Chains A and B, each alone.
Chain A
Amino acid sequence: MSGKMTRREFFQRGSQIGILAALGIGASRPGSRKALNPDRHRVDVAVVCGNDPDAAAEKAVEELGGIRRFVPKDARVAVLVNSQSRHPGTYTKPKILRALIRMCREAGASEVNCLTWLTEEHWGSTGLAAAAREEGARLRFVPNEEAYFRKVPVPGGKILDHVMLMKELQNNDVLIDVPITKDHAGNRFTGTMKNLMGLNCRAHNRLFHKPDWKTNPSSIQYFDQCIVDLNKTLKPDLCVVDATEFITTNGPFGPGKILRPQKVVAGVDRVALDAYCSSLWGLKPEDIAMIRLAAEQGLGEMDLEKVRIRETSA
Chain B
Amino acid sequence: MNRTPLPGFAQVVLLILFLGLSLEGLPAGASRIQESLPPETRVGEWKRGERVVVYAGEQLYDYIDGGADIYLEYGFQKVVVAEYIHTSGKSVSVEIFEMAGPGSAYGIFTYKVHPEDERIPVGIEGRMASYYLNFWKGACLVTLTGFDDDPETRQGLRLIGQKIAERIPERGRKPRMARLLPEEDIQPRSLVYFRGPLGLQNAYPGWTLGISGFEEGIKADSPRGFTVIGLRYAEEAGVREAVGSLEQRLIQDVNSGPGRVEEFSAYEGKDRRGRRFFLVASGRDILFFFGDIGRKEAEAVSVSFVKRRDALFFEPFLKVSGLSQTAPSASESGNSADRKMRSFYLYPAGCWKSASRTGDSGSGGARRHVRVRGRLL
A residues within 8 Å of B by Cβ?
A: 84-88, 118, 184-186, 188, 190, 197, 202, 205-206, 209, 213-218, 220, 249-258, 283, 287
Contacts and interface: CB of A to CB of B under 8 A. Distances in A.
Contacts of A220: 197-198, 201
B67 A252 contact: yes
Contact of B197 (A190, A216, A254, A256): A216
Given A186-B69, A215-B196, A249-B114, 10 more contacts: A84-B65, A86-B147, A87-B145, A185-B202, A206-B61, A220-B201, A250-B112, A252-B65, A255-B131, A255-B132
A252 B196 contact: no
Interface string B103-118: 0000000011010100
Contacts of B112: 249-250, 256
A218 B64 contact: no
Residue from B66, B111, B129, B200 whose CB has the most chain A CB atoms within 10 Å: B66
State the majority secondary structure of interface residues on A.
Answer: loop
B205 interface: yes
B201 A188 contact: yes
Contacts of B114: 249, 257
A209 B211 CA distance: 18
Contacts, number: 83
Contacts of B129: 255, 257
Contacts of A256: 112
B169 interface: no
Contacts of A217: 197, 200-201, 207, 210-212
B66 A186 contact: yes
Interface in B60-102: 61, 64-67, 69-70, 73, 93
Contacts of A206: 61
A254 B66 contact: no
B213 interface: yes
Contact of B145 (A209, A213, A255): A255
A205 to B, nearest CB: 8
A85 B145 CA distance: 12
Contact of B131 (A88, A185, A202, A283): A88
Contacts of A185: 67, 69-70, 198, 202
A81 to B, nearest CB: 14
A13 to B, nearest CB: 33
Contacts of B130: 258
A208 to B, nearest CB: 10
B227 interface: no
Nearest to B144: A255
**A-B complex: 10 closest residue pairs judged by Cβ atoms:** A253-B67, A255-B132, A185-B70, A253-B64, A217-B197, A255-B145, A217-B210, A217-B212, A252-B67, A214-B196
Contacts of B73: 214
Interface string B343-360: 000000000000000000
Nearest to A205: B66
B206 interface: yes
Contact of B61 (A184, A202, A215, A255): A202
Contacts of B64: 84-85, 252-253
B143 interface: yes
A238 B73 CA distance: 36
Nearest to B214: A215
A285 to B, nearest CB: 13
A134 B131 CA distance: 29
B94 to A, nearest CB: 12
Nearest to B67: A253
Given A217-B210, A251-B67, A186 B145 contact: no
A186 B112 CA distance: 14
Contacts of B143: 255
